[in-house]
């Protein structure tokens, strides 16, 4: 017999009293899911876009005040924390989304498991930090690790409310609050760096951001944890949750940064981390809003393969429509953009940024692939792929680190391109789709980008005697006009279809 340690609690701000029964809550939507997905995507994009834009502004300001060495030290400390923090039930929230029905005991059990795990991990970090910093050859990051490590509590605390927001597609309420929370954390970071706190402003920002996000998620979900802890409820989530958490671990362990920071130098890690952060920010803007919506939608449609295929192709087309100009456009103007926006001390990052733009393009597309694969109960497939990819990344860094950051970035770019066919095979097998139908989603956006690239390069050549900032502004303007014009011409029918779907979703809302 399963033991139930449930207790009834009172909370003065809860809209509904807590019952003694372990009721089913937060069921998947069964009607108007496509409309809800498009409507949710709009708010999810805002929920992702606004924080990313604010964080980008903070990143630009801090980059102009701090040197690559400073960024490298904070990145090294964050890598240690990410490695430790990624061990555990980090993706049980995805299991809550994927599960057909969830009960109150599912939520409470995952919450308390996460909290206890956070206490355990920070205790381990507290005792291990001096030894870790000494082994890495950077004893100055000892205190940085302890400060940045506080984010573990907020990351773990937000697992359940973030899952509830995603499961019910309640992105509208969360969007405004997340923006306010991000603005608050960004303001703290900028105030500290202008006050002369140096790299500590970055370290504190690494805690302020997840803290604000965690508070916003509880506000958006409207959920308060109880004490209905059941081992059986955890067991129901175990298979999916373990593999999904293992995927999160592979994504967050940051061994590549640990190797670069310890075997080369903090300055080299600063350049590497700078390039990755640009790619991460763009990826968050481009695909971050689609990821939670597509995972929820595809999870709710998992027993109707034709609708899964239709939703997947639409999401892939929409993502590629934005990914090509965003990532490859940055690659085209990086030689002007990086010194102008971030300062001349980041000039050495131009070619690594270009390599990571290609990685970012593939990762943006990969976000939709990951949503499909995991939503259809194949989290173990994605785990094995991530294991292979991370092994390739670590091997590449170990082999190429004597040749510098640019060579490492080029090696990672080539490795990403070589591994992509594996995910293509997974996708086509899950939804029984031809490869030609899949590649058809990329042809028009890719063609529009190539035309845009020619226009941008030609403009840069004509204006080579202009100042860098003036040339950059004209290049961006020309690229935007050309790309949008070509897309409107060759993708008109699909854009009209998306427009009609959005209008219907607004009317339905």
Query: What whole-number distance in Å separates Cα of residue 182 and Cα of residue 163?
Result: 19
Query: 382 falls in which pLDDT band (50, 70, 90)?
Result: confident
| SS3 of 297-337 | HHHHCCCCHHHHHHHHHHHHHHHHHHHHHHHHHHHHHHHHH
DSSP codes of every residue in 136-194: TT-GGGHHHHHHHTTHHHHHHHTHHHHHHHHHTT-HHHHHHHHHHHHHHHHHHHHHHHH
Q: What does the DSSP 8-state code read for residue 230?
A: B
Check if the beta carbon of residue 310 is closer than 8 Å to that of residue 339: no
Mean pLDDT taken over the chain:
80
Query: What whole-number distance in Å separates Cα of residue 248 and Cα of residue 390?
Result: 11
Retrieve residue 144's tokens: 């940085």
Q: Is 99 helix (H, G, I), strand (E, B) or coil?
A: coil
List pLDDT tens digits, range 311-361.
788 878 888 888 889 898 999 899 999 999 998 889 999 999 999 999 988
In what helix (H) or strand (E) does residue 103 lie, and over which residues does it extend? strand 102-103
In what helix (H) or strand (E) does residue 505 lie, and over which residues does it extend? helix 492-508
Extents of the domains making up the chain: 24-508
List pLDDT tens digits, range 257-309.
888 988 888 999 999 989 988 888 888 777 665 655 565 566 656 666 777 78
Q: Which residue has the higher pLDDT, 18 or 230?
A: 230
Q: Which residue has the higher pLDDT, 454 or 390?
A: 454
Residues 6+ apart with CB under 8 A from 317: 441, 445, 494
Name, of 13-17, 36-40, 108-112, 440-444, the range with top average pLDDT. 108-112
Q: Are strands 102-103 and 24-25 parallel, antiparallel or unpaired?
A: antiparallel
Check if the beta carbon of residue 411 is closer than 8 Å to that of residue 272: no
- For the chain, counts of helices (H) and of strands (E): 21, 2
Retrieve residue 272's tokens: 């590497």
Check if the beta carbon of residue 76 is closer than 8 Å to that of residue 257: yes
Retrieve residue 369's tokens: 């692939």
CA angle 342, 403, 385 (to 5 degrees): 85
User: Cα Rg for the chain, rounded, in angstroms?
Assistant: 23
Q: What pLDDT shows up at residue 14? A: 39
Check if the beta carbon of residue 237 is closer than 8 Å to that of residue 92: yes
Query: What whole-number distance in Å separates Cα of residue 44 and Cα of residue 59?
Result: 22
Phi, psi of 421 (to 5 degrees): -55, -25
Query: What whole-number distance in Å separates Cα of residue 305 and Cα of residue 107?
Result: 29
Residues 6+ apart with CB under 8 A from 503: none
Q: What pLDDT shows up at residue 474? A: 94
Give the count of beta carbons closer than 10 Å to the beta carbon of residue 5: 13
Check if the beta carbon of residue 330 is closer than 8 Å to that of residue 282: yes
Burial readout 384-396 (b: 16 or more C-beta within 10 A, e: otherwise): bbbeebbebbeeb
Residues 6+ apart with CB under 8 A from 77: 141, 144, 145, 148, 203
Check if the beta carbon of residue 318 is closer than 8 Å to that of residue 42: no
Q: What pLDDT shows up at residue 55? A: 79
List pLDDT tens digits, range 447-502.
999 999 999 999 998 998 899 899 999 999 999 999 999 998 888 777 776 666 55
Which range (13-17, 113-117, 124-128, 456-460) has the least confidence?
13-17
Q: Which residue has the tokens 């082999």?
A: 399
Q: What pLDDT shows up at residue 399? A: 93
Query: 427 falls in which pLDDT band (50, 70, 90)?
Result: confident
* Percent of residues, the chain, with pLDDT higher than 90: 27
Q: What pLDDT shows up at residue 22? A: 54
List pLDDT tens digits, range 183-226.
878 888 899 999 989 889 989 988 988 888 888 888 877 788 88
Q: Is 24 helix (H, G, I), strand (E, B) or coil?
A: strand
Q: What integer is the mean pLDDT of 497-509?
A: 53
Largest Cα–Cα separation, the chain: 79
Retrieve residue 130's tokens: 């001096």
Query: What whole-number distance in Å separates Cα of residue 195 and Cα of residue 201?
Result: 9
Burial class (CB in 10 A: 0-12, 13-18, 19+), 176: middle
CA angle 242, 38, 173 (to 5 degrees): 75
Retrieve residue 52's tokens: 């990313």
Name the nearest CA neighbour of 260 among 249, 271, 250. Answer: 271
Query: What whole-number distance in Å separates Cα of residue 236 and Cα of residue 2?
Result: 13
Q: Is 3 helix (H, G, I), strand (E, B) or coil?
A: coil
Q: What pLDDT shows up at residue 245? A: 72
**Residues shown for the chain:** 509
Is residue 31 predicted with pLDDT exceeding 60? no
Name the nearest CA neighbour of 42 among 141, 237, 175. Answer: 175
Q: Which residue has the tokens 């990403």?
A: 416
Q: What integer is the mean pLDDT of 142-147?
A: 92
Q: What integer is the mean pLDDT of 372-378?
A: 77
């Amino acid at each position: 017999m399963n033991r139930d340690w449930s207790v009834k609690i009172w909370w003065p701000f809860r809209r509904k009293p807590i019952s003694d029964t372990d009721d089913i809550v937060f069921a998947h939507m069964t009607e108007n899911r496509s409309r809800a997905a498009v409507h949710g995507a709009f708010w999810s994009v805002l929920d992702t876009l606004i924080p990313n834009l604010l964080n980008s502004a903070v990143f630009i300001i801090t980059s102009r005040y701090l040197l690559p060495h400073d960024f490298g030290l904070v990145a090294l400390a964050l890598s240690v924390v990410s490695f430790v923090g990624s061990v555990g039930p980090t993706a049980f929230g995805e299991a809550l989304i994927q599960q057909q029905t969830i009960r109150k005991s599912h939520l409470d059990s995952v919450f308390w498991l996460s909290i206890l795990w956070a206490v355990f991990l920070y205790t381990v970090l507290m005792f291990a930090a001096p030894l870790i910093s000494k082994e890495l050859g950077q004893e100055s990051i000892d205190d940085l690790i302890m400060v940045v490590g506080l984010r573990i509590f907020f990351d773990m605390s937000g697992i359940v409310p973030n899952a509830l927001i995603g499961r019910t597609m309640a992105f509208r309420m969360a969007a405004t609050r997340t923006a306010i929370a991000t603005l608050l954390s960004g303001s703290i970071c900028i105030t500290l760096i202008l006050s002369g706190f140096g790299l500590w402003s970055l370290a504190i920002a690494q805690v302020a951001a997840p803290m604000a996000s965690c508070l916003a998620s509880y506000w958006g979900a409207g959920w308060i944890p109880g004490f209905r802890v059941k081992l059986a409820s955890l067991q129901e989530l175990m298979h999916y949750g373990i593999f999904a958490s293992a995927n999160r671990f592979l994504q967050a362990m940051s061994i590549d940064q640990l190797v670069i920071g310890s075997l080369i130098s903090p300055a080299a890690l600063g350049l590497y981390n700078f390039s990755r952060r640009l790619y991460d920010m763009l990826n968050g803007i481009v695909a971050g809003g689609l990821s939670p919506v597509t995972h929820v939608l595809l999870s709710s449609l998992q027993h109707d393969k034709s609708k899964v295929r239709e939703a997947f192709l639409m999401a892939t087309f929409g993502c590629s429509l934005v990914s090509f100009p965003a990532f490859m456009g940055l690659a085209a103007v990086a030689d002007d953009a990086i010194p102008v926006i971030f300062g001349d001390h980041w000039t050495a990052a131009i070619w690594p940024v270009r390599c990571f733009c290609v990685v970012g393009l593939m990762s943006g597309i990969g976000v939709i692939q990951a949503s499909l694969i995991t939503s259809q109960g194949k989290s173990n497939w994605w785990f094995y792929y991530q294991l292979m990819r991370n092994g390739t990344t670590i091997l590449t860094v170990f082999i190429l680190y004597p040749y510098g950051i640019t060579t490492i970035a080029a090696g990672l770019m080539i490795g990403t391109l070589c591994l992509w066919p594996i995910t293509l095979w997974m996708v086509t097998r899950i939804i029984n789709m031809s490869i030609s139908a899949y590649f058809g989603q990329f042809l028009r956006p890719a063609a529009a980008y190539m035309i845009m690239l020619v226009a941008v390069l030609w403009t840069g050549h004509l204006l080579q005697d202009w100042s860098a900032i003036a040339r950059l502004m004209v290049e961006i303007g020309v690229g935007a006009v050309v790309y949008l014009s070509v897309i409107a011409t060759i993708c008109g029918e699909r854009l009209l279809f998306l427009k009609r779907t959005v209008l219907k979703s607004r009317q339905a809302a």
